[in-house]
Amino acid sequence: MPDGYDATMASWRRDPEAYWRLAAQDIAWSAPPQRIFDAAQGPYGRWFPDARLNMCHNAVDRHVAAGRGAQAALIWDSPISGGQRRITYAELQDATARLAGALAARGVGAGDRVIIYMPMVPEAVMAMLACARLGAVHSVVFGGFAAAELSARIADAEPKAVIAASCGLEPGRIVKYKPLLDAAIALSPHKPDCCLILQRDAWRCELEPGRDEDLLDAMAAAEPHPCVDRAATDPLYILYTSGTTGKPKGVLRDTGGYAVALHHSMSLLYGLRAGDVSWTASDVGWVVGHSYIAYGPLLAGCTSVVYEGKPVGTPDAGAFWRVCAEHGVKVLFTAPTALRAIKKEDPEGQQLRRHDLSKLEALFLAGERCDPDTAVWATRLLDRPVIDHWWQTETGWCITGNFRGAGLFPARPGSGGKPAPGYDVQALGDAGQPVPAGQSGSLAIRLPLPPGCAPTLFRADDRFRDAYLAAFPGWYNTGDAGIIDAEGYAWVMSRTDDIINVAGHRLSTGQMEEVLASHRDVAECAVVGVKDALKGQVPLGLVVLKSGAGRDEAALEAELVALVRERIGPVAAFKAARVVPRLPKTRSGKILRATLRKLADGEQPVVPPTIDDPMILDEIGAVLGIR
Ligand code: COA
Ligand code: AMP
């Protein structure tokens, strides 16, 4: 790899296929790629179309074969349960082989889907790897979703099996996963053949005879299963993410391109090597968890920390620094919201100074834009590079960032850095032409997307084309808006659709509106993201009552909050609904959501000339107590 960011980008630009051919040499293929890219396959092309490999072999078995069997592959640290475990590569190989064997004995084979619904326990990573070993396609569902959301994913993915835990642990409460799973299966037209359940000490659940089995018993009794040879273009997983409608998008990930991109990013971006300890404080239910709790660190032979806890309250704002010190973490990756939570409780870093952070070299942030205040605060406190990098579920790894393996360029707080090799990112005007440097536009990536990015959506090529490729022919539309400045730094400022970002979680306001609109007393509604000092944004629902509903407003508002929690889940953090007399609309009947958002943020909105009734803004302002 050439030295320096500019040289690296120049080498990729000069010959993209040669760049990825070289990066592909770090992967153990059963059939190495002869062709690097085939533009004729899929909505925009496929990477490594003739190559073959197994992901679990690359992430686990080959390290054991190379003598790393005794090294920790995973360190589980759970301040919330008081547990800690160290799992070596040899132990991980045995566990994944047995779990793959247990799945195979229950009829799961290559190409079959498996839903994983688990908290932050090592078995979640084992389950992912076991699927990869078999060639089964996993779909991990985040624990903070409600039964209806889990059900929608079961209905869409049609899994043969589900691997779940009896419960998850949140501060002060046990989240009983098994009843949620039972309710989700009951709601879904598709039923899995079997459910393997990890019984946790905090709460053991009933198992349904004929369908449910104890996961650990099944693993203990299983024959270890070898790695199954797969095409590089075979799917590794589906990860559902919020689209602009209530139906979640099944983002599909291939195997070979993902392995190449992640392995490459471990050294180029994070500056990590085999034997290093990497900690991504996120959740396996999100893309960040897939890429940098599970696959990335293991592909590179690192030790990955699996943390079941929070940045604050488990037990205090020193939790992250304690974990870094105790396990010798070299690179920490988390969401800005977690840092803001720490900053609020420990602004001067007293907790931080209690811990030996001599091994920590850098902090990476993603999930939402890091506000400059928090970036400056963290840099001052840690006296190490604090790197905001921009990415999406669809891309699987960063679009822009700063590259420890190529020598860092100076950070600009508030910017997500410069493009990674593989990405030609531009801000486009409405007509699809790049705007001059420094001007705002729709952020788009010139096709093809690099290896690692979603080749399509699960069973939905047309939806992929409509959602991402239709707006600007020849480009992938990220859905984010922002600026590329004269030096090439990207400033990712907002979404161009109705997606909001709450505590680093991507949520659809359209989906919340569908839930509110389903309430019998609601005539119409709008959900907007309002600025929040901790979570970045939080949703606010504004509803208009049906005439004659005659409801006590406070009671109705509480019902609406409960309804969103029941249908979407606690992760929506939907805590505020207000009854308003009318919604502001254009004369053609379109709800003025941007105007509402400004109003709710306490800003003076520019009254659009197309508004049908300017007085309504004062009335809504009065309801919100800001006018
Ligand atoms: N299972 C079940 N419920 C969960 C859950 C899980 N895995 N994760 C979160 N929840 C619940 C929380 O308990 C909370 O419920 P509540 O309304 O009853 O309090 C709700 O979902 C909202 O969670 P969240 O928005 O994450 O807030 P929080 O109050 O739990 O924690 C922070 C606040 C700032 C500490 C937290 O948001 C945080 O650290 N976020 C990190 C974000 C992140 O990792 N993003 C991934 C992209 S990198
Ligand atoms: P998700 O698919 O859940 O990872 O969410 C992706 C979205 O989160 C992006 O499209 C952005 O809107 C936002 N996002 C993620 N990381 C960043 C970042 N570093 N800077 C700005 N926005 C970000």
CATH classification (class only), 503-624? alpha beta
586 vs 221, more confident: 221
| Cα radius of gyration (the chain) | 24
Q: Tell me the average pLDDT across 365-394.
A: 97
375 CA from centroid of ligand 1 (Å):
21
Residue of 399, 477, 501 best suited for mutating to test ligand 2, as the one with most atoms within 8 Å of CB: 501
Mean pLDDT of 443-447: 98
Integer Cα distance of 573 and 502 in angstroms: 8
What ligand is nearest to the CA atom of residue 532?
1
Average pLDDT rounded to a whole number, residues 446-464:
98
Domain 5-309+389-482, CATH number (from 3.40.50.720, 3.30.360.10, 1.10.8.290, 3.40.50.12780): 3.40.50.12780
The answer on pLDDT for 604 being more than 90 is no
Task: State the pLDDT at residue 560.
Answer: 97
pLDDT above 80 for 243: no
| Burial per residue of 98-129, b for 16 or more beta-carbon CB atoms within 10 angstroms, e otherwise | bbbbbbbebebeeebbbbbbbbbbbbbbbbbb
Q: Which of 86, 170, 70 is nearest to 120 (CA)?
A: 170
Q: Please give the average per-residue pLDDT across 262-281, as a whole number.
A: 98
Q: Quick one: CA dihedral 559, 563, 569, 575, positive or negative?
A: negative
pLDDT band at 244 (very low <50, low <70, confident <90, very high): low
| 326 phi and psi angles, rounded to 5 deg | -65, -35
Question: What does the alpha-carbon distance between residue 118 and residue 283 come to, in Å, rounded to a whole number?
Answer: 10
For residue 515, give the amino acid letter: V
What 3-state DSSP class applies to 453? coil
Q: Is the pLDDT of residue 421 over 80?
A: yes
- Residue 559: is it exposed, middle or buried by C-beta count within 10 angstroms (0-12/13-18/19+)? middle
Ligand 1 center to residue 431 CA distance, Å? 39
Residues within a 6 A CB radius of ligand 2? 241, 287, 366-369, 388-393, 416, 478-480, 492, 495, 501, 506
The Cα-based distances of 269 to 55, 291, 401, 425 in angstroms read 21, 13, 8, 17
| Atom 5 of ligand 2, residue of closest alpha carbon | 392
User: What residue ranges do the domains of the chain occupy?
Assistant: 5-309+389-482, 503-624
- Strands 167-170 and 173-176, bridge-based pairing: antiparallel
- Interatomic CA distance for residues 274 and 141, integer angstroms: 29
Residue 2 confidence (pLDDT) above 70: no
Q: How far apart are the CA of 334 and the centre of ligand 2, in A?
A: 13
Q: Is 86 exposed, middle or buried (0-12, 13-18, 19+ CB in 10 A)?
A: middle
Q: What is the mean pLDDT of residues 378-400?
A: 98
Residues belonging to the chain:
627
Q: Whose CA is nearest to atom 6 of ligand 2?
A: 392
pLDDT of residue 614: 87
> Which ligand neighbours the alpha carbon of 280 most closely?
1
How far is it, in rounded angstroms, from Cα 463 to Cα 468? Answer: 8
For 497-551, the pLDDT digits (tens) are 889 999 999 999 999 999 999 999 999 999 999 999 999 999 999 999 998 888 8
β partners of residue 270: none
Q: Relative to the alpha carbon of 243, which ligand is closest?
A: 2
Structure tokens at 418: 């410069």
User: Which of 530, 547, 546, 486 is CA-nearest to residue 625?
Assistant: 530
Residues with CB under 6 A from ligand 1: 119, 143-144, 168, 170, 175, 282-283, 286, 288, 310-312, 335, 337-338, 341, 366-367, 502-505, 534-535, 570-571, 573
Integer Cα distance of 601 and 626 in angstroms: 9
- What is the number of the ligand 2 atom nearest to the C-alpha of 492? 21
| Residue with the larger pLDDT of the pair 247 and 86 | 86
Q: How far is the CA of 481 from the centre of ligand 2 (A)?
A: 11
Chain centroid to Cα 284, Å, comes to 8
pLDDT above 90 covers what percent of the chain? 92
Q: Give yes or no for a contact between 539 and 507, defined as CB atoms under 8 angstroms apart.
A: yes
Distance of CA 287 to the CA centre of its chain: 3
Cα(27)–Cα(219) distance, integer angstroms: 28
Name the residue of 251, 369, 371, 400 to mutate for ligand 2: max ligand atoms within 8 A of Cβ.
369
CB 399 within 8 A of CB 419: yes
CA distance 322 to 320: 5
Angle ∠(66,231,390) on CA atoms, nearest 5: 80
Q: Is the pLDDT of residue 627 over 60?
A: no
Nearest to 396 by CA among 466, 294, 496: 294
- Average pLDDT of span 14-40: 98
Mean pLDDT of 260-267: 98
Q: Do domains 5-309+389-482 and 503-624 have the same CATH topology?
A: no
The yes-or-no verdict on residue 175 having pLDDT over 90 is yes
Q: Helical H runs in 50-171?
A: 55-56, 62-63, 89-105, 122-134, 147-157
The Cα–Cα gap between 596 and 530 comes to 9
Q: 504: CA distance to ligand 2 center in Å?
A: 8
Can you give the pLDDT at residue 245?
67
Average pLDDT, the chain: 96
Kindly give the distance from the C-alpha atom of residue 139 to the centroid of ligand 1, in angstroms, as a whole number.
20
Instruction: State the residue for tokens 């326990």.
Output: 121
pLDDT digits (tens, 9 = 90+) for 316-370: 999 999 999 999 999 999 999 999 999 999 999 999 999 999 999 999 999 999 9
Specify the pLDDT at position 317: 98
Residue 48 near residue 24 (C-beta atoms within 8 A):
yes
Q: How far is the CA of 68 from the centre of ligand 2 (A)?
A: 35
Beta bridge partners of 253: 237
Alpha carbon distance 525, 253 (integer Å)? 35
How open is the CA angle 235-44-298, to the nearest 5 degrees?
Answer: 35
Q: How far apart are CA 582 and CA 561, in angstroms?
A: 20
What's the rounded Cα separation, in Å, for the pair 177 and 188? 16
CA 305, chain centre distance (Å):
17
